[in-house]
Chains A and B, each alone.
Chain A
Amino acid sequence: MSLQAYQQASQRTEPPRDLEYRLFGQVTRALLAASALDARDASTLGERIDALDWNRRVWSALANECADPANQLAAPVRANIISLSLWVNRHSSAVMRGQEAFQDLIDVNRIMMQALEPRAAA
């Protein structure tokens, strides 16, 4: 493959880290939108549940990836991500119980976005 063809292919394929950054951006926006909804309005329940579930699935998928022996991240980083996944799981339930706020989930996701943002890899 010529250098030019490779560069064109690289431009068409989104790097995994960028995909992950984009994913965290999307799910964090969903959490932000859900956090602004009135919990006393029954019609908002579905959207709040969906946002929390989406975020939980993102973190659960991360935990699955970090549990894979083939994952190239250092063991302490993988352990931290798995710990965060457990916390997200518990905290999401507490949000639905009205005992905790969305904001902590949003804050953690934003830190992860900072970790993944493209310029951090430069």
Chain B
Amino acid sequence: MSLSVQGSGLAATTLQDRSRLAPAGAQGPDQSQSQSQSQPSVVVLAGVDRIQSSQAALTRDGLVAAKGVLDAAVGAGRGVGQALLDMREAVRGALDPQRAVGVDGLAVAYQRHLTAIDRFAAQANFHGRNLVDGEAADPLRFALDGAGAEAVLEPADLTADGATVDLADSAVTGDPAWDAKLLDRIDAALRRVSDQVDALTAQASQLDSHFAALSRLGEAQSAGESDLDAEGAKLRALDVRQALADQAASIAAGTQAVLALLRA
């Protein structure tokens, strides 16, 4: 017995090209709305209380698309944070009178990490949507049903010249006074990036909650657990493996009985 209703439905859905095609649930930004790039982002789930179990598949698709965009943004935010930490080390090196590397070398390393920030922001492009490259000043909307329910994700500019990082014009100079101020700017940028990643993570958590609520629509899902940890997940997978093996054995036994009748 296969896992899907029509057998090949699952495979047809997901064996297709997995390159970054625009998903059905993604829609363009709403030009009528805008928000400050430095404002903490908060997900909006509009009309989700009206969603019926019959529309759960569409809703799940929309949520998956939104989660993909958020995960890409969070992954980029993590990379930007790491780049800022590396930049901080370069500046601290320049301020250290006992430094083993010359200021010129540290300045080059600093610029390399600064460039990496923009690369991380650009790489967060997911299905043509990017929350953190500074291009999406308007919220990104993901349809959750055919009647207007949607998830609305707020952007957060994480580019080097965006309001969150704001270090595009910075450089290591070897001047202690200047570099000390630069260190303060980097620390402030780190705090802002951390706040933005927290806000993006909060949006993802809200979507997770809705996933769990969605799983409670309909009879089969009522027994589904939404708080498994990794070990619990492996145990559930083992249960599924055993159940499928039992069913396969049962089907095989039935087939043998039919064959025996035909031979008789």
Task: Tell me if B238 counts as interface (CB < 8 A to partner A).
Answer: yes
B115 CB, min distance to chain A CBs, angstroms: 9
Interface size on B, residues (CB 8 A): 78
A81 to B10, CA, bound (A): 13
Given the known inter-chain contacts A83-B236, A86-B228, please indicate yes or no for A57 contacting B64, CB distance below 8 A.
yes
* Contact across chains for B64 and A120 when beta carbons are under 8 A apart: no
Task: Tell me if B220 counts as interface (CB < 8 A to partner A).
Answer: yes
A64 to B7, CA, bound (A): 13
A48 CB, min distance to chain B CBs, angstroms: 7
Q: Specify which of B10, B126, B223 is in contact with A76 (CB 8 Å cutoff).
A: B223
Interface residues of B in 1-22 (CB under 8 A from A): 1-11, 13-15, 18-20
Q: Specify which of B15, B19, B61 is in contact with A23 (CB 8 Å cutoff).
A: B15
Q: Specify which of A19, A45, A46, A69 is in contact with B11 (CB 8 Å cutoff).
A: A19
* Contact across chains for B4 and A65 when beta carbons are under 8 A apart: yes
Given the known inter-chain contacts A57-B14, A96-B71, A107-B234, please indicate yes or no for A42 contacting B119, CB distance below 8 A.
yes
Q: Specify which of A82, A93, A108 is in contact with B220 (CB 8 Å cutoff).
A: A82
Interface residues of A in 1-57 (CB under 8 A from B): 15-17, 19-20, 22-23, 26-27, 30, 39-40, 42-43, 45-46, 48-50, 52-54, 56-57
- Chain A residues with Cβ below 8 Å from B239 are 76-77, 80
A79 to B52, CA, bound (A): 19
One digit per residue, 1 when the CB lies within 8 angstroms of any chain B CB and 0 when it does not, for chain A 58-96 equals 101111111111111111111111111111111111001
* Contact across chains for A61 and B10 when beta carbons are under 8 A apart: yes
Task: Tell me if B120 counts as interface (CB < 8 A to partner A).
Answer: yes
Q: Specify which of B208, B212, B245 is in contact with A115 (CB 8 Å cutoff).
A: B245
B117 CB, min distance to chain A CBs, angstroms: 9
A84 to B235, CA, bound (A): 10
Q: Specify which of B56, B197, B224, B244 is in contact with A86 (CB 8 Å cutoff).
A: B224
Given the known inter-chain contacts A78-B220, A83-B226, please indicate yes or no for A56 contacting B4, CB distance below 8 A.
no
Interface size on A, residues (CB 8 A): 74
- Chain B residues with Cβ below 8 Å from A77 are 239-240, 243-244
Mostly, the A contact residues are helix
A84 to B227, CA, bound (A): 10
One digit per residue, 1 when the CB lies within 8 angstroms of any chain A CB and 0 when it does not, for chain B 223-253 equals 1111011101110111111011101100110
Q: Specify which of A17, A19, A82, A98 is in contact with B221 (CB 8 Å cutoff).
A: A82
Q: Specify which of A53, A76, A114 is in contact with B243 (CB 8 Å cutoff).
A: A76
Q: Specify which of A82, A114, A120 is in contact with B215 (CB 8 Å cutoff).
A: A82
* Contact across chains for A65 and B11 when beta carbons are under 8 A apart: no
- Chain A residues with Cβ below 8 Å from B122 are 42
A95 CB, min distance to chain B CBs, angstroms: 8
**A-B contact list, 9 entries, CB within 8 Å:** A46-B123, A53-B71, A61-B13, A76-B223, A80-B243, A96-B71, A97-B201, A104-B233, A120-B241
